[in-house]
Amino acid sequence: MPDYRTYTLGHDGHFQGSIPLPDCPDDDTAIAAVKQVLDGHDVELWQLDRKVAVFDHKTKSVKSA
């Protein structure tokens, strides 16, 4: 089972918290789920120890890792 998790970064770039994404079977589904919950912070999407994408809240861009 894929183990996706978001990591929220504060405006200073430091870790603020994480949210598990248990219902995401693949990268595309996980990326779509993160786009729905962006809340004014940068977010990193990880699957276990693999960084999948970085979401920039200012530009609304997604960079694949």
Model confidence over 10-55: pLDDT tens digits? 888 899 999 999 999 999 999 999 988 788 889 999 999 999 999 9
pLDDT attached to residue 1: 63
For 27, which DSSP code? H
pLDDT attached to residue 24: 96
Quote the CA–CA distance of 59 and 61 in Å, as a whole number: 5
pTM of the model: 0.89
Helix (H) or strand (E) holding 9: strand 4-9
User: Alpha carbon 57 to chain centroid distance?
Assistant: 11
pLDDT attached to residue 11: 85
Helix (H) or strand (E) holding 36: helix 27-37
Q: Which of 58, 64, 65 is nearest to 9 (CA)?
A: 58
pLDDT attached to residue 61: 85
pLDDT attached to residue 31: 95
- 3-state SS assignment for residue 31: helix
